[in-house]
A = this chain, B = another copy of it.
Amino acid sequence: MTEFRHDPVHRRWVIVPLDRRRGPEDFDVPIRVPDEGFCPFCEGQEAKTPPEIYAVRQGNPDRPGWKVRVFPNKYPAISGGPGPVERCAYGLYDWINGVGSHEIVVDHPQHHILFHQMGSDHLAFLVDTYRKRLVELMKDPRFRYIMVFKNHGTKAGASLSHQHTQIIAMPVIPRIAAMALSTAREHFHHKERCLFCDILVQELSDGRRIVAQNEHFVCFVPYASRFPFEMAIFPKDHYHDFATIKDELLTPLAEILTQAIGRLAAIFGDPPFNITIHTGPNTNQSSRRANYWGTLSHDWHWNIEIIPRLTAPAGFEWGTGLYINNTPPEDGAHFLREVKL
Complex interface: chain B residues within 8 A of A183 (CB):
8-11
Contact B327 A22 (CB under 8 A): yes
Of chain B, the residue at the smallest CB distance from A158 is B314
B151–A10 touching, CB < 8 Å:
no
Chain A contributes a number of interface residues (CB within 8 A of B) equal to 88
Q: A274, B326: Cβ atoms under 8 Å? A: no
- The interface of chain A, by Cβ under 8 A from chain B, is 5-18, 20-24, 26-27, 77, 90-93, 145, 147, 149-151, 155-158, 166, 168, 170, 172, 174-177, 179-180, 183-184, 195-196, 198-199, 202, 206, 222-226, 228, 267-268, 274-276, 278, 305, 307, 310-316, 318-329, 331, 335
If the complex has contacts A92-B198, A327-B22, are A9 and B156 also in contact, measured as CB distance less than 8 A?
no
Set of chain B residues within 8 Å of A307, measured between Cβ atoms: 315, 318
A310 to B151, CA, bound (A): 18
Residues from chain B with Cβ under 8 Å of A13 in the complex = 224, 322
Cβ contact within 8 Å between B224 and A149? no
Q: For residue A149, which residues in chain B have a CB less than 8 angstroms away from its CB?
A: 315-316, 319
A10 to B184, CA, bound (A): 9
A8 to chain B, nearest CB (A): 7
Tell me if B27 and A228 are in contact (CB < 8 A). yes
Give complex CA distance A179, B11 in Å. Answer: 8
Contact status of A326 and B20, CB under 8 A, knowing A315-B274, A319-B305: yes
Asked whether A176 lies within 8 Å of B321 as measured between CB atoms, the reply is yes
Inter-chain contact B316/A147, CB cutoff 8 Å: yes
CA distance A274 to B315 in the complex (A): 5
Are B268's CB and A24's CB within 8 A?
A: yes
**CB pairs A–B below 8 angstroms (14 shown):** A5-B224, A7-B223, A8-B199, A14-B325, A16-B329, A21-B327, A26-B326, A145-B320, A147-B319, A150-B315, A156-B315, A158-B314, A176-B322, A276-B318
Max count, chain B CB within 10 A of own CB: residue among A9, A177, A223: A9
Q: Smallest Cβ distance from A106 to chain B, in angstroms?
A: 16
For A11, the chain B residues whose CB sits under 8 A away are 179, 183
Is B199 in contact with A92, judged by CB distance below 8 angstroms?
yes
- Residue of chain B at shortest CB distance from A269: B28
Q: Which residues of B contact A21 (CB under 8 A)?
A: 326-328, 331
Q: Which 9 A-B pairs have the closest CB atoms?
A: A157-B314, A274-B315, A276-B319, A174-B320, A175-B321, A176-B321, A7-B224, A174-B322, A5-B224
Q: A18-B328, A180-B9, A315-B275 are in contact. Are A310 and B224 (CB under 8 A)?
A: no
Q: Contact between B195 and A9 (Cβ–Cβ < 8 Å)?
A: yes
- Complex CA gap A228/B91 in Å reads 22
- Decide: B93 and A223 in contact? CB cutoff 8 A: yes
Assess A176 versus B319: contact at CB under 8 Å? Given A7-B224, A14-B325, A184-B9. Answer: yes
What residues of B have a CB within 8 angstroms of the CB of A15 in the complex?
A: 322-325
Given contacts A22-B327, A223-B93, A319-B278, is CB(A9)–CB(B196) below 8 Å?
yes
Given A27-B268, A315-B156, A316-B77, check contact A179 B10 (CB 8 Å): yes
